Amino acid sequence: MQEPTGAALSAQHTPDDDGTPAASSRSGVLRRYVLAAIITLVLDQASKVWALGALGDGRVRPLIGDLLSLRLIHNSGAAFSIGDSMTWLMSLIAVMVTLAILWASRRVGSRRWALALGLLLGGSLGNLVDRFFRDPGPLRGHVVDFIDYGGLFVGNIADIAIVAGAGLLIWLVFTNVGLDGSRPQHATGGATDE
């Protein structure tokens, strides 16, 4: 049997963020990424189908007093209805963000990064499905939103996944976990990190 060399050898001995060897967990990392994206996308689209049927009468259904309720809207813009007159531009930005998430996933070696990127991808795809396949047409479709947060804004499951994924991503950056799962060691004795 041939000995692993170069990058393969270093990849096998580079620990993941949870202490497992990165090479042996690569398939687990990718599986977590894909599962997070698929589960998010399915939950988002299923909840939107439900909302269209159950909330189509226009009534607001309180869940927790005035803090949280269900109210169906069709959002032509981004979060907080920003850019509602430029739906096609919001759609193109969402496509670019989705492509950036897919590009970053090629280097992911951390289960936590895989979860964060999977949530971001699933949420982004959930809203992109609406942009492409809902009225009034491709790149101009309105996103189905139905979770009303005390009148501040109305969102959906995709938005929750995007916020959760972004929060986890920020936490990983601040705790110094690299995309590949490594944790660069701070040098002691006057040496500097490379």
Q: Which of 16, 17, 44, 159 is catalytic?
A: 159
**Catalytic status, residue 145:** yes
**Catalytic status, residue 135:** no
Q: Which of 145, 148, 180, 193 is catalytic?
A: 145
Q: What is the DSSP string of 17-44?
A: TTSSBHHHHHHHHHHHHHHHHHHHHHHH
Per-residue CA distances from 34 to 28, 38, 39, 105 (Å):
10, 6, 9, 10
| Cα-based angle 184, 18, 110 (whole degrees, multiple of 5) | 70
Q: Which residues are catalytic?
A: 145, 159
